[in-house]
Amino acid sequence: MHPKPWHTVAFLVLASAALTALELPAGTRMGVPAASLASGVAALSLMAAAAVLGARWRFVESIFGGLDRVYVAHKWLGIWALGLASFHLTFKAGMSGWETAVILPLPEGWPRFIRQLSFVGLMFIVLLALNRNIPYSVWRWWHKLSGPLLVVVVLHWLSFKQPIALDSPAGIWLAFLSAAGVAGAFYKLLLYPLVSRHAEYQVVGVRPGAAAMHLELEPVRDGIDFQAGQFGFLRMNVQGMREPHPFTIASGSGGKGRVCFEIRSLGDFTGRLIATASVGMRADIYAPYGRFLRRKEARREVWIGGGVGISAFIAWLQDPRAGSFDKVTLFYFFTPGRDFPEVPVMASMARERGAELVPVAGGASDPAFVDRIGVICREAVPAQIDVAFCGPSGLLAQVSRTLQANGVPEANLRHEFFEFR
């Protein structure tokens, strides 16, 4: 059982509110000033936790069940931090009767400036992160400011008069989270490129398609060991293409050998990559990440891939360590004329492994999907069908409704989040 984003947000907010209340006189714990103070504590706690999640530490990924889940929680932590910080800024977090003191005195005028800077910076970072119209190269570099911004917010906490002593439960809570958050932020900013697991690769094959590309690379020295269904961050060592992007590794778990990516033009970076990739280019791959792995023990398997989400299932089909595929049905959702890999290629791949392929060109309401999934659910026990999905969120919602209408429990549908941004 892994925590969901709302679990993380709720725990941090409730813990912050409870610890803040302990520092206040009993008769003042329910007013607007107390709520404003608790909102400020919670906002800092959420920002620090977001920095920890953004560090890509392995133990954090294990707790949440995959880096895709980590990034969804990271996003919601930022959104709630901005909301709570707005409430904290609007209403005064103080009243008569509170014993207040400054933990870290600063020159006159600086505490107020830092307070304004911390809020404006947080608002800018969160709104920037949610804006999909900003080119990724610009977004990435601006988002790096979230680490230094956290330091500014911590300085705001330390430099204002407040009723929370550093050695109190609430003070220890904030100090611990702040230290962890700053460590995570600067690890990601400075140390991650040096100490994280990565290897240098060279492009040895490029097969273009309609606004898509099959990219094959082999290690220059030692490669990366991974499991089928995991993904890596691909960083091309070419001027103007050095921003790392996540892609599912669409090849068998060969460990030290070649790796393949199925890349579709979905933005400025992928468009440039498809247009310029050539044999001989060098790249760094930071991997492996993700927990989207096949459950070989399932009595009946249904795989559903939409668009470039088919990459995970290509890796499963090509896994040399995989077991039988005779209980597998793979639904391949694609747009006619934009199928990549092409349907005949996928059909040949599935046939070689003994799996059933069902191409679906008309969306989740297409009879090719609706009728076949209905037959599968009548032939097998719906509660014993394991459904793995990788594709756009809109398709996921439609597929989920169809499965539930056929008696497949919601818990049997597992998926990887399709987008990080």
User: What does the pLDDT look like over 273-293, one tens digit per residue?
Assistant: 999 999 999 999 999 999 999
Res. 316 pLDDT band, cuts 50 70 90: very high
Indicate the average pLDDT of the chain.
Answer: 92
* DSSP 8-state secondary structure symbol assigned to residue 222: S
* DSSP 8-state secondary structure symbol assigned to residue 211: T
DSSP string of 28-74?
GTTSHHHHHHHHHHHHHHHHHHHHHHTTT-HHHHHHHTSHHHHHHHH
Separation CA 228–CA 252 (nearest Å) = 6
In this predicted structure, the answer to whether residue 420 has a pLDDT above a threshold of 70 is no
List the domain range (segments joined by +) for residue 368.
Answer: 300-416
Please compute the mean of the pLDDT values over residues 176-203 and round it to a whole number.
94
Decide: 302 and 223 in contact? Cβ < 8 Å. no
Same domain flag for 39 and 161:
yes
Please identify, among 289, 312, 339, the residue that sits at the C-terminal boundary of a domain.
289
Backbone angles phi, psi at 319, to 5 degrees: -70, 115
Decide: 33 and 95 in contact? Cβ < 8 Å. yes
Q: Which amino acid is at 39?
A: S
pLDDT of residue 421: 53
Token representation of residue 251:
């090849």
Same domain flag for 217 and 126:
no
Q: Read off the pLDDT of residues 332-345 as tens digits, 9 standing for 90 and up.
A: 999 998 888 999 99
Same domain flag for 9 and 104:
yes
Backbone angles phi, psi at 407, to 5 degrees: 90, 5
Same domain flag for 18 and 147:
yes
Same domain flag for 39 and 142:
yes
pTM over 0.85: yes
